[in-house]
Chain A
Amino acid sequence: MQPTLHADTHAQASHHEEPGFWQKYIFSTDHKVIGIQYGITGLMFLFLGLCLMSVMRWQMANPGTGVPLVGPLLYHLLGESAVSKTGVISPDLYNAFGAMHGTIMVFLAIVPLAFGAFGNFVTPLQIGAPDMTFPRVNMVSYQFYFMGGILMLASFFIPGGAAKSGWTSYSPLATIADMNLRPNGQTFWIIGMVCLINSSLLGAVNFITTIIQLRAKGLSWMRLPFFCWAQFVTAFLLLLAFPPLEAAAVLQLMDNLLRTSFFLPTGLVVSGKLLHISGGGSPLLWQHLFWFLAHPEVYVLILPGMGIVTEVIANNTRKPIWGYRSMVYSILAIGFLSFIVWAHHMYLTGMGVRIATFFQTTTMVISIPSVVILTALFISLWGGSIRINTPMLFALGFLPMFGIGGLTGLPLGFNASDIHLHDTYYVIAHFHYIVAPGTIFALFAGIYYWYPKATGRMLSEYWGKVHFALSFVFMNLVFMPMFIQGMAGMSRRMYDGGATYASNGDVVGLSPYIIGLNTSVSHAVWALGLAQIPFIINFFWSLNWGKKVTSDNPWEATTLEWQTPTPPPHGNFDKEIEVVRGPYEYSVPGKSRDFTPQNEPDQPEPIPHGNPVRS
């Protein structure tokens, strides 16, 4: 079952009573098992999110025609009110799929993967700790996440279907949807979100405490791998930005179930009828509380990705990261500033000019540290003897994709240009460049990079490269046209893909070319889905038949996670760890090997003069 490398540890471990299956894999308190639980669940949700969008893309590209294969299946699952017999999905179901696509992707796929899976698996290993500080809290955190996921999934099958007011759930829209049914999809959404928020809060407390308290001897802050810094800042974002959304969720739940009016204004008329509510609430309050979380949340989505990419780049360029310190200060600055830019999502809500200018300014300022990090990573490539393997390909793909995503954010941050671009496909393209070819590529890089540590076997390089090449091409074919559609004025969240607003005789609207892009985008989406097949097969096939690793450190890396047995046992390290150097001491002149692990003691002789490596 295990490679024979550490026969002694296993012999020693085997006289402990072996925990049963449930203890070991389901109710485990081991951070690595929990990380893998997060990983598998998150990947499944990632796939589900993609499936929902594939169905929606059919509807957009071919309005009014039934979805082949899946349509009839959905008809049987969800009933006639949601899908016609021929498989045409209803506008309500389209909205529900859209809202759930966003919710699932952000809260059930990317955050759990980037933070829950990689954070859990890698962070304690990288800081030389035996586990998280609160292993049982860690388990509960996963269970909350799981519960949240179940609630979200279950909501598809209740009367009225899942929440259908966008992942932003703006009130009053979210509160008046399915008003005659209570509890409805929105109720499930709110309670599910509360579970997910609690999960993240517990996780954040655990991560921060772990990084503060359990760093190995000698692992000072400036010797911390950048990945750990990224997780540290991410945890703070979750810790302090999520509670206001939790408050907002409680308030919306009150509106939903107890007929209060926190977010409902006086005199609200729905379908020509005055609502019987007390009124006096403020729809804008929801937006403020939501975006107070959701802007930091976008950094929660991207920072762990930057951390993974940094590790992979350092390892495969075989040289120290350029500007490690400035990257650390930048990521701290991002963390700080991300709390005071949120209202750039609300320029069109009629704020005053001065406050809008304030948010425009902070938005521009926060792009500086992001650019610093990206630049440092690009410069790190300079002069390296780069190893091109699958993790590195994904990391290299990340850089320009994140660059495109970030730079296209600037026109959204200026309130003058945002008036034109707000709520169009341009916004969709912008943030997808950051999360999809950005974060998701970083996640893939991480999976290919740490898979050998977790399983003792390598993923296939050949199929990994195929996976990368196809994903890279189709990602761009999916999202690049959306910039064009958005600049032409195509709005997001439209059931018919904008056909209503098409040019018609003398009425100028969206041109056939712009509408026609829907079709090519949809084809690219389905192709992108197919491109994941090599990955899925590779992932499972390699568990049993992948190439075995021949050492605990197959990538010849410097950070501590590679100093453990493979796969790491419960408690992680079988030796005392003392860190004596910085995280990325690659190609140190005068050393016999081109990497020096963080815990490798200095040779007795003095280090040669002119050593370029900072410590």
Chain B
Amino acid sequence: MSLINQNPSHMEIPYAVKPRPDTGLYNAKVGIWLFLASEVMLFGALFCSYILMRVNAPEGTWPHHWLNIWMGMTNTIVLIFSSVTVVLSWASLKMGQFKRYKFYQSITILCALAFLGIKSFEYHDKFIHYQVNLKDGRIFDGHLQSAASTTNQFVFKGRFIDKPEELYNPPLEHAEEPPITIAKSDIKIDPTTKQPMMENYGPWHNTYLAIYFTMTGLHALHVIAGCIVIFAIWGPLAKVWEQDPERYVNRVEVSGLFWHFVDLVWIFLFPVLYLL
């Protein structure tokens, strides 16, 4: 868990706490920046893939506004807010105010949980969102109301699509939609799979959703990892503050750097996936 050795032995690793004079850095600081450099390459490659998917897509088929901007924006603000509390907690600790550190960092953890909550809500929303091709040639697009549906007919809230382009550019605001019932027998059968053509907006639906789920999923894993590390330092490892406060401050700083990086990635993900 911790990056710093606590090996019960007679040997001590130099510069684990105090900076090395010629580099001006303590070990974990060098380590975390190297790690972040590799993370830059990881997410960089994914952004690169995103651009390729996008320029590869035939004219007019790259979706816009498939995600809820307001949720994305809320999540952006939540992460920014948590980044502020991280730096405030670090600064409090530097001044020796352990209680204030604990307070700020608990807000950070709550923010992380809020972020994950909102994100799972958005995921769920995509998984119950279906595109249905009907035998009469029409396309229906909407959210499945599973409580009201049976095996032979499905109840959706959504709309019929007149032109396929509309699928990729849904209106930003739409009025409350009445429930619509579609019988299974009205759904067109896919000639290759022999299954009804009713598919939800999972990663398999198109490359936009594929890259959306991959990038936000990987980002969410980072949020979870960061949250666990910050929590571990906050709770189970808090006794280090008494034994070796300088080391403790370093740990908070290093975990903070990771957290800001996670925030930084989201700052790019938000416009790229939600707005453009």
Contacts and interface: CB of A to CB of B under 8 A. Distances in A.
A209 interface: yes
A262 B34 contact: no
A285 B56 CA distance: 11
B34 A239 contact: yes
A261 B57 CA distance: 12
A131 B38 contact: no
A274 B194 CA distance: 13
Interface string A75-93: 0000000000000000000
B44 interface: yes
Given A243-B38, A244-B42, A247-B45, A209 B56 contact: no
A354 interface: no
Contacts of A281: 53, 56, 207
Interface in B21-52: 23, 25, 27-28, 30-31, 34-35, 37-46, 49, 52
Interface stretch (A158-166, A199-207, A372-380): A199-207
Contact of B9 (A16, A206, A259, A277): A16
A355 interface: no
B49 to A, nearest CB: 6
Contact of A251 (B2, B10, B214): B214
Contact of B37 (A135, A214, A239): A239
A367 interface: no
B206 interface: yes
Interface in A222-257: 239-244, 246-248, 250-251, 254
B11 interface: yes
B233 to A, nearest CB: 16
B49 A285 contact: yes
Interface string B135-161: 000000000000000000000000000
Contact of B52 (A212, A250, A282): A282
B5 A258 contact: no
Given A214-B14, A260-B207, A250 B7 contact: no
B40 to A, nearest CB: 8
Given A261-B207, A278-B204, A289-B45, A133 B37 contact: no
Nearest to A134: B3
Contacts of A273: 192
B203 interface: yes
A571 interface: yes
B13 interface: yes
A16 to B, nearest CB: 7
A285 B192 CA distance: 27
Interface residues of B, number: 53
Given A205-B35, A213-B27, A133 B210 contact: no
A133 B190 contact: no
B5 A134 contact: yes
Contacts of B210: 254, 258, 260-262, 278
Interface string B61-78: 100000000000000000
Contacts of B13: 129-131, 133, 135, 214
Contacts of A571: 9-11
A266 B214 CA distance: 20
A277 B206 CA distance: 9
Contacts of B237: none
Contact of B10 (A16, A133, A137, A209): A16
11 contacts: A129-B14, A130-B12, A134-B27, A205-B35, A212-B30, A243-B38, A244-B41, A246-B42, A254-B214, A278-B210, A289-B45
* Chain A to chain B: the 4 pairs with minimum beta-carbon distance, closest first: A571-B11, A244-B45, A243-B42, A260-B210
Interface of A: 13, 16, 29, 129-131, 133-137, 201, 204-206, 208-209, 212-214, 239-244, 246-248, 250-251, 254, 258-262, 273-278, 280-282, 285, 289, 292, 570-572
Given A213-B27, A244-B45, A280-B206, 16 more contacts: A13-B10, A130-B14, A133-B27, A134-B5, A205-B31, A205-B34, A209-B30, A213-B15, A213-B23, A239-B34, A240-B38, A244-B41, A250-B214, A260-B214, A281-B53, A571-B10
